[in-house]
Copies of this chain bind each other. A is one copy, B any other.
Amino acid sequence: MSAVQKHDVFQAIADPTRRKILMLLAKQDLSVTAISDQFPITRTAVSKHLRILSESNLVGMTKAGREKIYKLHPETFAEIKDWLSYFDQFWDNKLSMLKFLIEEQEK
């Protein structure tokens, strides 16, 4: 159903530039050049970032003539959410947080 994930999604979103690229693509689909215009680094560097985002299934690409249009592949964000939901028990438990803050205070 979904493509094989060649790159770890957590490692993909670790880089600030890649996160900015995702933010840009959240607003609109963009070509490689259009994206790299937004950064002080070379187009080649942006191209590498896009490959990593692509290999972690965070973005998808479609050819349009000589351009390649990148777009958000939102399905994969669910994986991060799933992982985070593991910690919800603590987040929701205000008591454990309060306990922690008190201990912080005392130290």
Given contacts A19-B10, A19-B83, A62-B103, contact A91 B78 (CB under 8 A): yes
A-side interface size class = 35 or more
Copies of this chain: 2
> Is A107's CB under 8 angstroms from B63's CB?
yes
3 smallest CB-CB distances across A and B, nearest first, come from A14-B14, A74-B90, A74-B91
21 contacts between A and B (CB under 8 A): A8-B14, A10-B10, A10-B14, A11-B14, A14-B14, A19-B83, A22-B87, A26-B86, A26-B90, A60-B103, A60-B104, A63-B107, A72-B87, A72-B90, A73-B100, A74-B91, A75-B91, A75-B97, A80-B80, A81-B81, A84-B84
